[in-house]
Chains A and B, each alone.
Chain A
Amino acid sequence: MTTMQFGLFTVGDVTTDPTNGTTPTEHERIKNTITIAKKAEEIGLDVFATGEHHNPPFVPSSPTTTLAYIAAQTEKLILSTSTTLITTNDPVKIAEDYATLQHLSDGRMDLMLGRGNTAPVYPWFGYDGSRAVELTVEHYHLLRKLWDEEVVNWEGKFRTPLQGFTATPRPLDGVAPFVWHANIRTPEVAELAAYYGDGFFANNIFWPKEHYIRLIDFYRKRYAHYGHGEPEQAIVGLGGQFYIRKNSQDAVNEFRPYFDNAPVYGHGPSLEDFSSQTPLTVGSPQHFIEKTLAFADYFGDYQRQLFLVDHAGLPLKLVLEQLDELGEVLPTLRAEFDARRPANVPDAPTHASRVAAKLAEPVESAEEEVSA
């Protein structure tokens, strides 16, 4: 088993290719997502994560449908999300949907919770966006109970109470899916992740690294505070973004039109400025390896590295070519990260490792769980 996980995360945007004006249909975009996920397994990646959105120009409104479909066509790939909206989804439905996915994929899944960044989604689903943090905290406490406790009696501020409720199916092997908390600005979410000993993910794209360092350091400190281990043993995931070619000038020339017109940062800073100020890497494989390895210098040794590749209108052909490029450097990245990792930094959690950990627990606590 690999010590560190590498993978892809997709936003699922339908964006016009600025070089020729073509726009994929929703059908094409959804099918392309499946092709990209299967390619991820083919080149040796460990994880594929899809976003969740409920408005155009995004297609992934039903992540577990897509992930189950991918799970059926892959063998090793871990399916995840980037992110599952803990604010506007009913925690009961999250518990049910993702436990079902866990069974169907034989434990090859986890999920990453986030608050979303589209303000109108809150009223569309009957919530008040100004209470996003409160919603996140209450919904997540409930989600944990639904998975960790057989029978749930619960009352909160945002959802109708539950009396004698059992979420089905029960988690596979009695071990709930591992949860990552994606966060780029809310310390309460880092606190929540630290309290439960869950993973913490910083998307690490679009902004300078300094922005993410503060929250990751805080999460590590609080993870230790709650007795899960030393700060350097906390479970950290990072995003990243690249475009690589053997000849670095080819990478710059090919990616520039996509960069210049990209949603989020297009029509803003130059590709050169943005690459020097943020984790975006556009250039040679060697440059990519060096810049990615440096993440561990800034954020500490970490467990999961996901890359955003299929965005900004990049056509499927270029996405698959970029994945071939990634596949070629992947063994080097793995070896270099493993070489620098201290022995006390844990591996990325998997279903198998979590089941093993549960079996290793003292008998008393196992009995407590059964009777809880």
Chain B
Amino acid sequence: MSRIIAISSGLSDPSSTRMLADRLVESLGRQSGDVSVEVVSLRELAHDITDATLTGFAAPRLQDVIDKVVAADGLVVVTPIFKASYPGLFKSFIDALDADALTGKPVLLAATGGTARHSLAIDHTLRPLFAYLQALVVPTGVFASSYDWGTEGGDALGLRIDRATGELISLLKGAGTGRSRDDEFDLFSESFLAASNPDS
């Protein structure tokens, strides 16, 4: 059984970041019976995190979360994107970890934002941070904008989620990302099915 910690750094309650974390957890459970996932919300630790940045050590409740993160087989990291990057609270939590805490750890990166214009923030801000931490980040980053939560987004978000979680599960099994260049068209995608359904 692989133990996965999902870190949600959404600041509002309820938050779309937490919704995305929950979707990722659901997808992990659906695709593998061999994982257990616990979701940690940084909002509830905001004071402890701030204290840690001032005192230099983590209070017991925060230390307990840090210990779980370090011991986990894999991480799911979900953060909102504010002003072109992750919020300070998220970075302060990362700063509270030892420099080698995430070395070699499989990590799935996900983020939320108001519009799809922010989607590359995963690759331009989160990925460098986790490269510095020497974590093993799965190729698919999952970004959800407000659009993805509406019906007009179709299930594109669901497809990205399943692809990313599939990569994480495969990585945990020691099977690489389990992906290679597609050589066949996806005949069962929505757009394909619509082509042969005049009354859809």
Binding site for B on A (CB under 8 A): 133-134, 137-138, 141, 144-145, 187-189, 191-192, 195, 218, 226
Q: Does B180 contact A (CB under 8 A)?
A: no
Is B185 a contact of A218 with CB atoms below 8 Å? yes
Q: Does B12 contact A (CB under 8 A)?
A: no
5 CB < 8 A contacts A-B: A144-B198, A187-B192, A191-B196, A195-B195, A195-B196
In addition to A187-B192, A191-B187, A195-B196, 12 A-B residue pairs with Cβ atoms within 8 Å of each other are A137-B191, A141-B200, A145-B198, A188-B191, A188-B192, A188-B194, A188-B195, A189-B195, A191-B192, A191-B196, A218-B185, A226-B196
Question: Lowest 9 CB-CB distances: which A-B pairs, in order?
Answer: A191-B195, A187-B185, A141-B198, A195-B196, A192-B195, A137-B194, A188-B191, A133-B191, A188-B195
Query: Which residue from chain A places its CB closest to the CB of B197 in the assembled complex?
Result: A141
Q: Which residues of A contact B187 (CB under 8 A)?
A: 191
Query: Which residue from chain B places its CB closest to the CB of A131 in the assembled complex?
Result: B152
Q: How far is the CA of A137 from the CA of B191 in the complex (A)?
A: 8
Give A321 Cβ to nearest chain B Cβ, in Å: 43
Give A157 Cβ to nearest chain B Cβ, in Å: 9
Main secondary structure on A side of the interface with B: helix
Is A137 a contact of B195 with CB atoms below 8 Å? yes
Q: How far is the CA of A218 from the CA of B197 in the complex (A)?
A: 19
Interface size, chain B (Cβ < 8 Å): 11
Q: How far is the CA of A23 from the CA of B197 in the complex (A)?
A: 47
Q: How far is the CA of A138 from the CA of B197 in the complex (A)?
A: 10
> Digit string of B163-200 for contact with A (CB within 8 Å is 1, else 0)?
00000000000000000000001010001101111111
Q: Specify which of B187, B194, B195 lies most central, judged by the most chain A CB atoms within 10 Å of its CB.
A: B195
Q: How far is the CA of A138 from the CA of B195 in the complex (A)?
A: 8
Give A221 Cβ to nearest chain B Cβ, in Å: 10
Is A134 a contact of B198 with CB atoms below 8 Å? no
Give A186 Cβ to nearest chain B Cβ, in Å: 9
Q: How far is the CA of A137 from the CA of B196 in the complex (A)?
A: 9
Q: Which residues of A contact B199 (CB under 8 A)?
A: 141
Q: Which residues of B contact A189 (CB under 8 A)?
A: 195
Give A165 Cβ to nearest chain B Cβ, in Å: 16
Is A134 a contact of B195 with CB atoms below 8 Å? no
Q: Which residues of B contact A218 (CB under 8 A)?
A: 185
> Digit string of B13-52 for contact with A (CB within 8 Å is 1, else 0)?
0000000000000000000000000000000000000000
Query: Which residue from chain B places its CB closest to the CB of A195 in the assembled complex?
Result: B196
Give B192 Cβ to nearest chain A Cβ, in Å: 6
Query: Which residue from chain B places its CB closest to the CB of A187 in the assembled complex?
Result: B185
Is B191 a contact of A134 with CB atoms below 8 Å? yes
Q: How far is the CA of A192 from the CA of B198 in the complex (A)?
A: 10
Give A179 Cβ to nearest chain B Cβ, in Å: 14
Q: Which residues of A contact B192 (CB under 8 A)?
A: 187-188, 191
Is B194 a contact of A134 with CB atoms below 8 Å? yes
Give B199 Cβ to nearest chain A Cβ, in Å: 8
Query: Which residue from chain A places its CB closest to the CB of B183 in the assembled complex?
Result: A214
Q: How far is the CA of A191 from the CA of B190 in the complex (A)?
A: 12
Give B137 Cβ to nearest chain A Cβ, in Å: 27
Q: How far is the CA of A192 from the CA of B192 in the complex (A)?
A: 8
Q: Which residues of A contact B194 (CB under 8 A)?
A: 134, 137-138, 188
Q: Which residues of A contact B197 (CB under 8 A)?
A: 141
Q: How far is the CA of A218 from the CA of B185 in the complex (A)?
A: 9
Q: Specify which of A187, A189, A195, A226 lies most central, judged by the most chain B CB atoms within 10 Å of its CB.
A: A187
Query: Which residue from chain B places its CB closest to the CB of A141 in the assembled complex?
Result: B198
Q: How far is the CA of A333 from the CA of B197 in the complex (A)?
A: 40
Q: How far is the CA of A310 from the CA of B178 in the complex (A)?
A: 49
Q: How far is the CA of A282 from the CA of B198 in the complex (A)?
A: 44
Give B6 Cβ to nearest chain A Cβ, in Å: 30
Q: How far is the CA of A144 from the CA of B195 in the complex (A)?
A: 12
Give B195 Cβ to nearest chain A Cβ, in Å: 4
Q: Which residues of B contact A141 (CB under 8 A)?
A: 197-200
Q: How far is the CA of A211 from the CA of B195 in the complex (A)?
A: 22
Give A198 Cβ to nearest chain B Cβ, in Å: 11
Q: Which residues of A contact B200 (CB under 8 A)?
A: 141
Q: How far is the CA of A218 from the CA of B186 in the complex (A)?
A: 12
Q: How far is the CA of A192 from the CA of B185 in the complex (A)?
A: 14
Q: How far is the CA of A133 from the CA of B154 in the complex (A)?
A: 13
Give B196 Cβ to nearest chain A Cβ, in Å: 4
Q: How far is the CA of A110 from the CA of B98 in the complex (A)?
A: 69
Q: How far is the CA of A140 from the CA of B197 in the complex (A)?
A: 11
Q: How far is the CA of A218 from the CA of B196 in the complex (A)?
A: 15
Query: Which residue from chain A places its CB closest to the CB of B154 in the assembled complex?
Result: A134
Q: How far is the CA of A145 from the CA of B198 in the complex (A)?
A: 9
Q: How far is the CA of A319 from the CA of B12 in the complex (A)?
A: 67
Q: How far is the CA of A137 from the CA of B200 in the complex (A)?
A: 10
